[in-house]
Structure formats: C-alpha cells, structure tokens
Amino acid sequence: MVFENIRNYYEQIVLHHILETIDQIEDHDFIEDIACVALNQLPARYVKHNVDMVYYLTAEERSTMQKQIEKAVTHAIEYVSAHRKTI
C-alpha cells in the first residue's frame, strides 16, 4: 500500500506517556480509550519518519508539544476514568 509508512507523529509519543503515567495496565480497552481521547485533543502531525519532525522542530516547539501531550493525557485519564461503565 502506498500510505503504509505515514502515521500521526503523536501516536507513539502519547502511548509512551500513557504507559509511563499509569502504573498497572490490566485493561487494554481502558488504555486505548485514553489514547483516543488524548489524541483527539492534539493536532494531527503526519510524518513518514519520526526523524522528519525532530529536524524541523525547535527546542521550544518540542517543549510545547510535550506539555500539550501531558495535558491531553492527564485530561483523557480523568475523562475516561469518570465515564467508564462499571460491571
């Protein structure tokens, strides 16, 4: 497929931040829901290679992106936790 190498730059960074933030991961649906909510708060930044973004961002832009990711993940954890259906 022509587009198989194109992806949203934020996806792996957001997932990594979620995994660092949550101590125990037993419910993969919970993690996926958090990732979706967090990613929907961030702009799409499509790249072919992660290195493409690294070279074009200033240190200030990287810092801003990291803060946005942290805020989005924190909000997503709170939102998904508050809206989970209990069985």
φ, ψ at 66 (rounded to 5°) = -65, -40
**Domain coordinates of the chain in residue numbers?**
7-83
Q: CA 79 to CA 3: how far, in whole Å? A: 32
Mean pLDDT of all residues in the chain? 88
13 secondary structure, DSSP code = H
Q: What percent of the chain has pLDDT over 90?
A: 56
Q: Give pLDDT tens digits for 40-78.
A: 999 998 888 777 677 788 889 989 999 999 999 999 999
Q: CA 15 to CA 71: how far, in whole Å? A: 14
